[in-house]
Amino acid sequence: MNPQSFCIQIVAGRHNARCIHIFLVAAAVLLMVSGIGAAQTYAPGEPVIIPGAEIPGWGQVDQVFARFGRPAASMTRVPAVLILHGSGGVDGRGAFYAGALQKAGIATLEISMFEFGGRPKAGPQATMPHASAALGWLGAQPGVDGTRLGVMGFSWGGVMTVLLSSELVQERLGKDVPRPVAFAPLYPVCTALARSVKNPERACYNTQTRMSASPMLITVGTNDDYEEGKHPCDALISMWPAAAREQATVHYIEGATHAFDYQKAGGRYYDPLSHAGRGGMVSIVPSPKDADDTRKAVVSFFVKHLKP
């Protein structure tokens, strides 16, 4: 991943842009315009170090750094949501949702799988050991109900969230890892994922054939530069078994870009994985209203299915 210099637009909203030169990591999906290496915003809660896990053929991790937060004054076992960041690492979006989930009576665990610029070239299977370790850790916590776990993620983490609903992936995680019961992927790059699951050389090959009949809420903008077309997730869902299709809901946000809920200034950057894998420039335009509406929808979704 070699840094490259581009002239990019720095966008504070959907208006008023200016152009500056900045060094970017070509494969990064999120532009940290406040400064590469700047302090990241983590979800509310206490820092924890989780023992690692290994998935044969996919990889292993020795330990996972995370933030675990419980609802205030909760005296009973509570449901929990695992939060998976995007390709830019932990950047504040997880915290944006975690606080609201905790207020609704749901614990959260946001894990760090890699830092800005460290997106694995091997693909999402390389970070599945992180998810396996995190789910196992949540299930072992005395204050967490391991039968009421959910997963949500952004972009890279969104792809992982979709795949974690597949029974094929769940079996790879191991029989002792609790299976989540509700999933909320945000802009999970559906076009590329739909192609990958049909490619026998990909680790996620055929996962679409064993998608579980678990509730799933997918949120994606109609102007997402990683996708092809205005409704890119329809083709992916059409591959799933009928029971899984019936449990899936896609919320297309008109005019929204990739990472519309980004909590910092947006911008434009190059990613070779964008535009359905053809590569090109990606626009991120934060939309506070769409972010607030989506947060409410995600919290309501998990409240309905995890029953805090």
153 vs 218: CA distance, rounded Å: 10
Quote helix, strand, coil % in the chain, to nearest 5: 30, 30, 40
Residue 162 corresponds to which tokens in the numbers above? 């979709």
Note the pLDDT of residue 131: 98
**Cβ(69)–Cβ(46) under 8 Å?**
yes
Q: How far apart are CA 213 and CA 181, in angstroms?
A: 9
Q: How confident is the model at residue 75 (pLDDT cuts 50, 70, 90)?
A: confident
Query: Domains of the chain by range and CATH?
Result: 43-261+286-306 (3.40.50.1820)
CA-closest candidate to residue 203, choices 132, 277, 125, 128: 125
For residue 41, name the pLDDT band (cuts at 50, 70, 90): confident
Q: How far is CA 232 from CA 6, 104, 155, 188, 256, in A?
A: 28, 31, 14, 10, 13
End-to-end CA, the chain = 43
Mind listing the pLDDT tens digit for each residue in 240-286? Answer: 999 999 999 999 999 999 999 999 999 999 999 999 999 999 999 99
Asked if pLDDT for residue 23 goes beyond 50, the answer is no
Q: Are 220 and 253 in contact (CB under 8 A)?
A: yes
What is the per-residue pLDDT for 42?
Answer: 87
CB 65 within 8 A of CB 111: yes
Q: How much is the pTM? A: 0.88
| Alpha-carbon gap, residue 84 to 43, rounded angstroms | 11
Closest CA to 1 of 115, 113, 158: 115
Give the 3-state secondary structure of residue 139. Answer: helix
Cα-only R_g, the chain:
18
User: Does residue 5 register a pLDDT over 60?
Assistant: no
Mean pLDDT (the chain, rounded): 88
Q: What pLDDT does residue 6 have?
A: 30
Q: In the structure encoding, which two tokens stand for residue 288, read together? A: 């506070």
170 touches 164 (CB < 8 A): yes
